[in-house]
Chain A
Amino acid sequence: GAGVSQSPSNKVTEKGKDVELRCDPISGHTALYWYRQSLGQGLEFLIYFQGNSAPDKSGLPSDRFSAERTGGSVSTLTIQRTQQEDSAVYLCASSKDGGSYNEQFFGPGTRLTVL
């Protein structure tokens, strides 16, 4: 079946612009996660959605970052007033539910470059 998809695959933007990154999770997966990976760094947790529960936003680095998940499926990560340090690969993952041993399936990522 179809895996997690993300769009765009690459995004180049100018400092100060807003960007939106999209994630389509695997159908039927209720849990959705956003991470980012900077060059040479590990994956950094950003935000987690589980069903209709309030999202865990504890990993968002600043108030310029926000995310929503509409209808329990597609999610959008928005970065306002982008800065050069926002340049990274943004990865989305989904899992069947929030169980602690459920495998998280990752999308191919969006490579964001802020000039």
Chain B
Amino acid sequence: RKEVEQDPGPFNVPEGATVAFNCTYSNSASQSFFWYRQDCRKEPKLLMSVYSSGNEDGRFTAQLNRASQYISLLIRDSKLSDSATYLCVVNGFTGGGNKLTFGTGTQLKVEL
């Protein structure tokens, strides 16, 4: 079983749609969680951290369920510029430091 699993997509959605991505992780000791965005042939960039209470940043909402080891990202009113690959990232702090484990990503294509 992969440490971090995501549906690879692609998710093709019309502009203005709401889309949700899910992610599961296997290490119950994982301490911190993130969504990164990666555009084609570019480096990943932090979209948002994910906290236990859930958090929202504009059109983006992230949720964490530790009991189910599940993370989600909701994008409302999607824009063409949201087209990218969304990476679910889990930090399995090893005591000696951080070790980010990345999912393989979910591809989003927002269309006119």
- Give the interface of A toward B (CB within 8 A): 31, 33, 35, 40-45, 48, 50, 53-54, 56, 58-59, 91, 95, 98, 100-104, 106-109
Contact yes or no, A56 B45, CB < 8 A = no
Return the CB mask of B5-25 against A: 1 if under 8 Å, else 0. Answer: 000000000000000000000
B residues apposed to A, CB below 8 Å:
4, 31-32, 42-46, 49, 87, 91, 93-94, 96-105
Cα distance A44–B100 in the bound complex, in angstroms: 9
Tell me whether A104 and B97 are in contact in the complex, defined as CB-CB below 8 angstroms, given that A42-B87, A42-B103, A42-B105 are known contacts.
Answer: no
Cα of A42 to Cα of B6 in the assembled complex, Å: 10
CB atoms of A58 and B31 under 8 A apart: no
Q: Is the interface of B mostly helix, strand, loop or mixed?
A: loop
- Interface pair B43/A107, CB less than 8 Å apart: yes
Does the CB pair A43–B87 fall under 8 Å? yes
| Complex Cα–Cα for A17 and B101 (A) | 29
Given contacts A45-B101, A53-B97, contact A101 B32 (CB under 8 A): yes
Which chain B residue shows the least CB distance to A101? B32
Q: Is the CB of B94 within 8 A of A58?
A: yes
Cα distance A101–B32 when bound, in Å?
Answer: 6
On chain A, the residues within 8 Å of B102 by CB distance are 35, 42-44
CA distance A106 to B89 in the complex (A): 14
Option from A59, A91, A98 in Cβ contact (under 8 Å) with B43? A91
- Distance (whole angstroms) from the CB of B93 to the closest CB of chain A: 5
- When the two chains form the complex, which single residue of A31, A41, A103, A107 contacts B97, counting CB atoms closer than 8 Å? A31
Are A45 and B87 also in contact (CB < 8 A) when A58-B94, A106-B43, A108-B42 are?
no
Q: Is the CB of A56 within 8 A of B105?
A: no
- Least Cβ–Cβ distance between B21 and chain A, in angstroms: 14
A104 and B46 contact, CB distance less than 8 A: yes
| Minimum CB–CB distance for B38 against chain A, Å | 9
Check A109 against B31 for contact (C-beta < 8 Å). Answer: no
Contact sample, A vs B, 29 pairs, CB 8 Å cutoff: A31-B98, A35-B102, A40-B104, A41-B104, A42-B103, A42-B105, A43-B44, A43-B100, A43-B102, A45-B100, A48-B97, A48-B98, A48-B99, A50-B97, A54-B96, A56-B96, A58-B94, A59-B99, A91-B43, A98-B98, A100-B32, A100-B98, A101-B32, A101-B91, A102-B98, A104-B46, A104-B100, A106-B45, A108-B42
